[in-house]
Amino acid sequence: MSNQRERILSFVPIETIPLPRPLNRFGTAFPTALAEIYATAYAPRRGVVLDPLAHPWSAADAVESADRRGIAKSREPLGEWARAVVVLAPSLDEVLAGFERVADSVLVGTPHRVAMRELYASHCATCHGPVVVEAFLWERDAPVPTKKAFRCGVCAREGRALLIEPVDNEDEERTRRLEPRGMAYWQFVERFGADPAAQALAETVAALYTPRNITALMATLRAIETSVGDAGAQGLLKLCLLESIVAGSRLNAVAGHGTPLRIDKGRARRGHASQTREVNIWLEYERTVRELVTWLAQHEHRTPAVRGGLLLDPGDADLVLCQAPVEDALGGWSTVASALLLGAKTLRPMDTGEGRLASRERLLRTLRAALIEAHRVSRPEAAAVVFVPQADTATIAACVLAGAGGGYRLRTILYQRDAHAGAYGAPAAAVCDFDRDVPLLRDQSAADAGLIEDAIRAGVRDAVLARGEPVREEVAAVAALQSLAAKGLLVPIALARAGGVSELELFLDHFKSALADGRRTGITRVPLSDDADDVAYAITEAPDATPLGDRVEWAVWGLLSSAREVDTRSLLRRVYGLFRGIETPDRELVERCVAAYATQTDDGRWRLLDQDALVARQASQAQVLAELIDAGHRLGFKVHVGRDVERRAVPQSHQERGRALADLVGEAERSSGASRFVRGASDALDFVDCVWYDKGRMVFLWQVDWTARIHRSVVALGEAIPDDDRVFRFLAVADERTGLVHEKLRRSPALAEVVRRRGWRFVKWDPLRRWLRDAQAGLDGLEPVLGLEPAVEQSGQQLAFRW
């Protein structure tokens, strides 16, 4: 039945909403458009969509807008609790009232807010006025901090500017007076329970905090639990403390905001930063509370569904949809926060060994365990879709192998190198689409290494042929994984762990080996920059095909010309719908094509530029060709007009001389042609737009294009015309296409090399036409108008062009 389902083969524009602290610690919000597309296609109306790696605003919440029932499951108690807290959160006013009760609570004779102010109190180094320190800076293993960051209301722009000054003797003395293993330290350890292993972990975690911060952390936690009676408000206020737990440790480097905690052999691992930042726990907590409640009030319509606690029976889920935990922002902090906020009963086993694993191995294990559980409760025909943010070769392979290990069969991978436009970190994203398969058995046969590498090379070769251009490593890996899945070779790789070998490392080794030995099937490496790792893969003697970039450009123009006005999301989806699977274009390429041909209205919609309508562009192209014909005759050349344009109507300025461009050349020129002046190129010359010839045996080849689709001129035609000292090649492009031509040459070093090797000279229409219309201009005046940034536009100098 799964084979009858219509598959999603085109990429979906990725748009996510930024989550506030501390929700961003669990992961990014699941893209709503992605959830709607897959839930609508793969699950019936009111069907059950299971998210086995749920957190607030994950896939289980995103599918609600598609009228599907999202069920949230999580292997982490903290993530499941956080979802429930957000669901049950009271109003903004109630939470802020609860926060004020925490601030005013009295535990040791002093209101908590006052106690926190005194704990981080200091003096301004300039005016000696009292200040509250926002952060102390520590050198690694130093007994006292070295600098302090604060805002002074007297001498620093009324407290708006952050000042960083060395600590004074009073600050050092305050730090020394704090007992390293005081009451707060043992209260922290007590939260982990009576188990000796848990207490050993707790002591190593407590050592990651300064005495000042662990005092503030435990005092704030006790104040929340004793002063706020409402369960909903207390839960949300405790959730906000997660940010202080992570950011308040010694793992918080000066330039960071708290790194993931790694637990190895039941012990917390220390960081390697030479400097750390001791943030003010209370200020960090207050900012987090206000940021979260304000954000929740603004996004109340997207509050997570309350079905997270429902139990699923085997065969209930119609679709498994989740986001791969590529960036584990919490790591071991999830265990620590569970102990502090939920209690010792939520602790997972300590000696998992995950602290020693690379991030991609942790990703593989986590996702595989989640998919195994999802496989158990899903229908036989249920698909599984995994969204992979910050995708690269290793993370995509880890997700695919996790799916194979969880009992799923890969169908398609949709990858885009720059899906997250403007995002921090890696902007690439991928969507892995699986069908439910039988669970793996240990006695399944192993595959020969030669078969695996042959399948990898075949997949990469097919990808290059489909795109018509070299492919980067990530696209090659996607093609290789799909080829292995089609040939049934993913399962033997996924079973490698049973023999003590990492399946991920096994695939990566085969992938590198196959491409290193790619010459046997015509696969070559193409360097893209000076970086040795920045390479693409091409095919030697590949059949001539229009590259993906030129096809995308023409598709964008076609969509704009057929639609009066269109919004950005709809335009992107229509373009992606034309280029499916491995042909998915980069978002930047599509957006550059849109910017080159369209203008944006006041309401943000796109419409085709008036001058880029087909009739207008063909008329302007004919005008340039007519002026080329006239200038060629004036300079003493004979002129040939190519087959593709010879029947083009003459512009209005030449209508008295004929009806078509072919009428502007003499009968003798039409009968003789230019082929005898260029050896071995008669067929190709017939399709060159305009040829000047028979003057000093010089031949000028002119290609005139109003698009930036330069592959046909430079490669398809240009490579068929042999080099000669007296043959000069020119490609005249519309001025509006200059930026797009630059981009295509940057994206394709192979194309740029052909341009350089064959001596192609670019020229923009406007400077060229000014030279053509100048009756006094000779060939020596052509040089200053050449180039995409011609000298004639940079300065008034005239350069000599020696022919």
Instruction: Tell whether the model's pLDDT for residue 302 goes beyond 80.
Output: no
Percent above pLDDT 90 for the chain:
68
Q: Residue 3 gets which letter from DSSP? A: G
pLDDT (0 to 100) of residue 310: 52
Binning pLDDT at 50, 70 and 90, where does residue 352 land? very low
Q: Residue 713 gets which letter from DSSP? A: I
pLDDT (0 to 100) of residue 792: 82
Give the number of other Cβ atoms within 10 Å of residue 153's Cβ. Answer: 14
Instruction: Tell whether the model's pLDDT for residue 154 goes beyond 90.
Output: no
Among the listed residues 209, 210, 211, 219, the one whose alpha carbon sits nearest the alpha carbon of residue 182: 211
The per-residue DSSP string of 666-694 comes to: -HHHHHH-SGGGSTT-HHHHTTSSEEEEE
- Contacts of residue 531, Cβ cutoff 8 Å, sequence gap at least 6: none
Burial class, 179, CB count within 10 angstroms (exposed 0-12 / middle 13-18 / buried 19+): exposed
Instruction: Tell whether the model's pLDDT for residue 470 goes beyond 60.
Output: yes
Structure confidence by residue, pLDDT tens digits, 32-56: 999 999 999 999 999 999 999 989 8
pLDDT (0 to 100) of residue 386: 98
Report the run of H or E that residue 510 belongs to, with start and end.
Answer: helix 503-516
The Cα 406–Cα 414 span in angstroms is 20
- Mean pLDDT throughout 453-458? 96
Instruction: Tell whether the model's pLDDT for residue 236 goes beyond 80.
Output: yes
Domain boundaries 2-84+303-337+351-438, corresponding CATH code: 3.40.50.150
Determine the Cα angle at 685 with ends 684 and 687, to 5°: 75
Binning pLDDT at 50, 70 and 90, where does residue 15 land? confident
pLDDT (0 to 100) of residue 431: 98
Position of tokens 């919609």? 605
CATH class of the domain whose range is 548-608: mainly alpha
The Cα 205–Cα 556 span in angstroms is 55
The Cα 761–Cα 786 span in angstroms is 7
Instruction: Tell whether the model's pLDDT for residue 255 goes beyond 90.
Output: no
Instruction: Tell whether the model's pLDDT for residue 615 goes beyond 60.
Output: yes
Instruction: Tell whether the model's pLDDT for residue 159 goes beyond 90.
Output: no
- Ordered by start, the domain boundaries in the chain are 2-84+303-337+351-438, 93-299, 548-608, 614-794
Binning pLDDT at 50, 70 and 90, where does residue 799 land? very low
- Mean pLDDT throughout 62-87? 89
Position of tokens 């999802």? 374
Instruction: Tell whether the model's pLDDT for residue 330 goes beyond 50.
Output: yes
- Biggest CA–CA distance in the chain, Å, is 109
Structure confidence by residue, pLDDT tens digits, 709-718: 999 999 989 9
Structure confidence by residue, pLDDT tens digits, 666-712: 888 887 777 777 776 668 888 999 999 988 789 999 999 999 999 99
Structure confidence by residue, pLDDT tens digits, 162-171: 899 999 999 9
* Mean pLDDT taken over the chain: 89
- Mean pLDDT throughout 580-608? 95
pLDDT (0 to 100) of residue 4: 53
- Mean pLDDT throughout 410-416? 97
Binning pLDDT at 50, 70 and 90, where does residue 6 land? confident
Q: Residue 647 gets which letter from DSSP? A: T
Most confident of 234-243, 247-256, 711-720: 234-243
Distances in whole angstroms, Cα of residue 473 to Cα of each of 139, 401, 467: 41, 18, 14
Instruction: Tell whether the model's pLDDT for residue 351 goes beyond 50.
Output: no
Binning pLDDT at 50, 70 and 90, where does residue 801 land? very low
pLDDT (0 to 100) of residue 791: 85
Structure confidence by residue, pLDDT tens digits, 538-580: 998 777 789 999 999 999 999 999 988 999 999 999 999 999 9
pLDDT (0 to 100) of residue 680: 63
The Cα 252–Cα 245 span in angstroms is 11
- Mean pLDDT throughout 585-598? 95
pLDDT (0 to 100) of residue 802: 45
The Cα 356–Cα 345 span in angstroms is 25
pLDDT (0 to 100) of residue 795: 58
The least confident of 73-82, 149-158, 291-300 is 149-158
Instruction: Tell whether the model's pLDDT for residue 18 goes beyond 90.
Output: no
The least confident of 140-154, 237-251, 529-543, 581-595 is 529-543
Binning pLDDT at 50, 70 and 90, where does residue 444 land? low
pLDDT (0 to 100) of residue 550: 96
